[in-house]
Chains A and B, each alone.
Chain A
């Protein structure tokens, strides 16, 4: 269960970071606590929107979805492969790819690095790695033949 719990805590942290950036963007909070001012450069650039949506809003919805999936996965038996964790692995993989694109923009197009975005990048990568570890673990469990019914101690 520790991977699912870790994924849930990481998703929660990502959710709060995205919420913070989104609230800033819609003017509900004052200035960003950033230190260098680069966060504002990134948040106010034309690349702070993607497909007509604020990137921070996409992050907010994405992390909310990942959090929801981990909370559902926590209700499933730890030994079995849990569909929410499989979905989480796929979505976080997409998240890593999207974050890679955003980081590329920060480094080579906007020429400014937003610390909060770096935090979010680390978090989504963390969720993806945890998702992979959980996937491997459940695959091993599934491959193991056991004469006993599944219990929470199988792991």
Chain B
């Protein structure tokens, strides 16, 4: 029969083994490579762009179209999306004065920009683009330093009521990598080199904007009908 001391020794041995195994499993889960990544500089196929001009919000008959080139991981874009856009949405887009066109412009220094853009594109398949778009921006501080931002985007997808089976399949396929690249290429072509950049008419506006400045600009381009 084992003495109490032997029992205690055996306990500590089992305990140490369990600690090592448990920590090993957690470390594996933390450091395993991300399951999804969206490649940059992919060759853009015609199917990536056919019939797609960007994510558009507002009336097709609006007199002014504003194109926003933005990066989900850019802090200024985040501020713009969460603080300025609600006013712009209410006063310019919903009133039919402006049509907003959002284009992805993922900067190279932001590792999760393309993944975020792809997540939003996959949400678009289920008619939830703008919800996912906003949630990704709102949660920027939460995921931009995370090890696995994809898991956080998936949480947002779930919270936005997306069918996760379809979402996961979409993310794994990376099918919108070409579309994101095409969007980036378009930005480069028109002269975008930082985010956020707005294209109004044929003029580019770079830097920080507030909604008042944009409303004034729209007022000067297309005065309100009396």
Chain B interface mostly: helix
Interface presence of B147 (CB below 8 A): yes
Contact, CB under 8 Å: B164 / A27: no
Nearest A residue to B7 by beta-carbon distance?
A1
Contact B146 A153 (CB under 8 A): no
CB contacts (< 8 Å) of B154 on chain A: these are 31
Of the four ranges (under 10, 10 to 19, 20 to 34, 35 or more), the interface on chain B belongs to 20 to 34
Q: Are B7 and A29 in contact (CB under 8 A)?
A: no
User: Please, which residues of chain A bring their CB within 8 A of the CB of B29?
Assistant: 20, 23, 28-30
Stretch of B18-26, B114-122, B194-202 with 4 or more beta carbons under 8 angstroms from chain A? B18-26
What is the total of A-B residue contacts with beta carbons within 8 Å? 72
Q: Does B142 contact A (CB under 8 A)?
A: yes
Residues of B70-85 at the interface with A, using a CB-CB cut-off of 8 Å, are: none
Q: How many residues of A contact B (CB 8 A)?
A: 27
Min CB distance B196 to A, Å, is 25
Q: Which residues of B contact A9 (CB under 8 A)?
A: 14-15, 18
- Chain A residues 1-54 with CB under 8 Å of chain B are 1-2, 5, 8-9, 12-13, 15-16, 19-20, 23-24, 26-31, 37, 40-41, 44
Asked whether any CB of chain A lies closer than 8 Å to the CB of B221, the reply is no
Contact A27 B152 (CB under 8 A): yes
**Chain A residues closer than 8 Å to B34, beta-carbon distance:** 30
B22 close to A1 (CB less than 8 A): no
Q: Which of chain B's residues 121-165 have a Cβ closer than 8 Å to chain A?
A: 142-143, 146-152, 154-155, 158-159, 164
14 A-B contact pairs sorted by A residue (CB < 8 Å): A2-B7, A13-B18, A16-B26, A23-B29, A26-B146, A27-B143, A27-B148, A27-B151, A27-B155, A29-B29, A29-B30, A29-B151, A30-B29, A41-B158
